[in-house]
Amino acid sequence: MAGRAGPSEPDAAGTQERAQKAAGQDMSSQKIEDLMEMVKKLQKAGNLEPRVEVLINQINEVQQAKKKANAELGEARTIWEALQKELDSLRGEKVRLKEILNKKQETLRILQLHCQEKESEAQRKHTMLQECKERISALNTQIEEEKNKQRRLRLDFEEQLEDLMGQHKDLWEFHKPEQLAREMCALESSKEQLLEEEKLVQAKLEDVKHQLYSLCGAKGSSVITEGLFLRSQEAAAAAQLFQEENKKAEELLAAASQQHQQLQHQCQELQQKRQRLKEELEKHGMQILAQIQSKQEEGTGPREVMSLELGGERSRAIHRAQPGSLLGHKYTLYSNLIPRGFRKELELY
């Protein structure tokens, strides 16, 4: 950029000087032409004497201006030639600098490519190092998981066993024979109470009928008297009382029968739920036993495997003999695996 700005400034200066010289020559020639026209006009007018000195002075000025312009033009040509030589030298310098710049750019491009290759190699090595670190950490994690595997299995077994014990305890407390007997006694007592209320209502109805009959017998059996009694306020009150008592008795009987049906339905649902939970508990217990046997077969010797097989055959024999024997067997098959804290709770069942 500096090489390009150098030759342009002198070239512009020379161009301005040439333009000024040309403008000066044009002005001097224009003045001469104006003087000649003025002389011609004065000759035609016949009045040349007063203007001769003025014209001579103007001609002298014009000639001096012309000489000065010619001298300036020569100087401008000299300067222009010098500037032209300098411009040629600057152009040569520009070409030389451009060649140097191209060489430097090529060298820079080669160095950049080499630097990119080095960076990519360093990035690849860093990636490989990170992968190795990740593999090492994964292997360490796997080792820790393998170390904690037996501990987690034992904790899972304890949690499952505790859940089964809690379910069995809740089921046993909810479906005790004493509780069912109390519910049945309550139903029977409510039924007897409703029957007694129905008998009382029937007795009241009989009393009302007897009162009506006694009133009819005292006043006679004539049709007029019966009609008057039926139209009386006492008969209307007795009929209304009879209807109310009958309606209450029907409502009580319907409510008692509906409650009895609901209780029977609830008892059936509870029995079905108890049977289903018992089956699930037995099934889950067999699954836990199978898992324990498989885990112990992996980490025990042949003798312990045989003992577990004998225990499994014993448990299957117990289940074939009685479907609900898993709950009443006190978990004898799990006695070697159950922690001491749970054995006391199992003894309560």
pLDDT digits (tens, 9 = 90+) for 105-155: 999 999 999 999 999 999 999 999 999 999 999 999 998 888 888 888 888
Looking at residues 62-91, what average pLDDT do you find? 90
- Token pair 């393998």 is at which residue? 146
Asked if residues 55 and 35 have their Cβ atoms less than 8 Å apart, the reply is yes
Rounded to whole angstroms, how far apart are CA atoms 201 and 251? 12
Looking at residues 302-318, what average pLDDT do you find? 45
Of residues 303 and 262, the one with the higher pLDDT is 262
Looking at residues 262-285, what average pLDDT do you find? 77
Of residues 260 and 224, the one with the higher pLDDT is 260
pLDDT band at 265 (very low <50, low <70, confident <90, very high): confident
